[in-house]
Amino acid sequence: MFFIDPSSHDIGRSPSSAPAAFTPSVRWGIPLEAEDFELSPTASSQDFSFHVLGPDSRLLPSYWDLRSRIFCEEQHLFEDSDRDELDGRAHPIVALSHHSARAGEAVGVVRIVELSPRVWQGGRLGVDADFRRLNQIGKGLIWKAVTTAHGWGCDRFLATVQRQNVPFFRRLHWRAIEALEIRGLPHQLMEADLSYYRPSRERRPLAPAA
């Protein structure tokens, strides 16, 4: 998530991995590449793209707003703010809608942070309430998060997952490591199978966006 938005030059220009007849372009002032639409090694989305945000991205306010709505107002996991010390070095990622009344808006969020050399963690994964029936968004955010970190030298990618979401993560090639309780709710510490998540060509920024 600081830096060069997913525009750049030779990043992700593989037509075979993109929606039909995809051509690298710019929409809403946001550069788009084939890689931005990927959901898995063999699937891409026509309706959503996934982007690491730079420090000057116009989408940062909506990233923070959506996080607050999900984790404070809806889930009540936090009172006034869900921000923490990791946000100072985390990289934010958003999902953008392309074919709805809210085209160009952030409808999903996640962050990634390097906890220690080559060990990364994903967190604050959430989807706008109006789009939760669509598995593509969560799947695409997870793919973008893990493949981005993998491309930046990640050897292990971890996440604490709410228990009801564990089966979804298992289907996406994650394994459970340890049961945890966070803010009174049951979670599982899980690890992604990096052999499934090929490294992204996303360029690593010099500094996070937060």
Residue 4 lies in a domain: no
- What gap in Å lies between CA 146 and CA 148, rounded to an integer? 5
- What gap in Å lies between CA 39 and CA 31, rounded to an integer? 18
Count structural domains, the chain: 1
Residue 68 lies in a domain: yes
What does the pLDDT average to over 172-198? Answer: 95
Name the least confident of 9-18, 55-64, 73-82, 152-161.
9-18
Tell me the average pLDDT of the chain: 87
Summarised one tens digit per residue, pLDDT across range 102-140 is 999 999 999 999 999 999 999 999 999 999 987 899 999
What does the pLDDT average to over 181-205? Answer: 93
Residue 204 lies in a domain: no
HEC string of 134-200 equals CHHHHHHHHHHHHHHHHHCCCCEEEEEEEHHHHHHHHHCCEEEEEEEEECCEEEEEEEECCCCCCCC
Residue 33 lies in a domain: yes
- What gap in Å lies between CA 187 and CA 181, rounded to an integer? 6
Residue 52 scores a pLDDT above 90: yes
Residue 184: what pLDDT?
84
Residue 205: what pLDDT?
82
CB atoms under 10 Å from CB of 144, counted, come to 31
Report the CATH number at residue 119: 3.40.630.30
Handedness of CA 124, 129, 130, 133 (dihedral sign): positive
Residue 53 lies in a domain: yes
- For residue 104, which amino acid is it? G
Two tokens at 154? 């990640």
Residue 3 lies in a domain: no
- Would residue 63 be called left, alpha or beta, if left means φ above 0 and alpha means ψ between -120 and 50 degrees? alpha
Contacts of 68 (CB under 8 A, 6+ apart): 81, 82
Structural domain harbouring 173: 15-192
Residue 1 lies in a domain: no
Residue 133 lies in a domain: yes
Summarised one tens digit per residue, pLDDT across range 162-184 is 999 999 999 999 999 999 998 88
- Residue whose pair of structure tokens reads 């968004």 in the numeric block: 137
- For residue 131, which amino acid is it? F
pLDDT band with cut points at 50, 70 and 90 for residue 23? low
Residue 16 scores a pLDDT above 60: no
Residue 79: what pLDDT?
87
